[in-house]
Amino acid sequence: MGRWGIATLAAVAAVVTACSPSAADDATGDETTTSTTRTPRITDDSGRPPVTFDPCYDIPDDVMNAAGYDAAKKEVADYPMGTHTFLGCTYRKDDHVPGVRRGYSLSILSGNVTLDEELAKNGSIATETSINERRALLKIDQENSAACKYVLQTNFGVVFFNRLYNKDHAGEVPQSEWCSRMEELVISLEPFIGNK
């Protein structure tokens, strides 16, 4: 497809393919939270930095469970694209409110493209902001209603937080609900990116 925005959104929407992480499986408890280096499970030959933040393994399951997302059902994904790489993790939050929503789907995607590249591609739907003093974008696309996206800058590239509101009613989801409490979630997860 050529453009990572289209390719990654299509990939996230597609069936997620599980993969076998390398050193992540061998880490336990304290090693996972205190380790500052990890061999990336996917690399590319683009000359871009390796993706060193792996959302499925660097965000503790108990943190996601406390946020209401069932970490036991998380799905690991990767998107090696030759010119760049994305490591992904998807979660579901099944807080069904009949007639209102069925819950949320959350995709966290870590990639070695830059925030400036993302801003150049999606500036029409992006607003510059910051999360815990980290440069970020908030993306709201009128053509992708009920989705809320934050993109955070990292040393290797960016981390996308993409949440979809799964409605349980006919009609549109009010725009005021698309990002409801999403900023608080991203603020709580940002520290796990660390200085990567």
The predicted model scores a pTM of 0.77
Q: Is the pLDDT of residue 164 over 50?
A: yes
Question: Over the stretch 89-123, which tens digit does the pLDDT of each residue have?
Answer: 999 888 766 766 667 899 999 999 999 999 999 88
Q: Find the mean pLDDT for residues 122-134.
A: 94
pLDDT at 171 over 90: no
pLDDT confidence of residue 17: 35
Label residues 151-172 b or e (16+ Cβ within 10 Å = b).
bbbbebbbbbbbbbbbbeeeee
Element spanning 136, H or E? strand 134-139
Domains of the chain, each with CATH number or no CATH: 47-193 (3.40.1000)
pLDDT above 90 for 15: no
Banded model confidence at residue 22, pLDDT cuts 50, 70, 90: very low
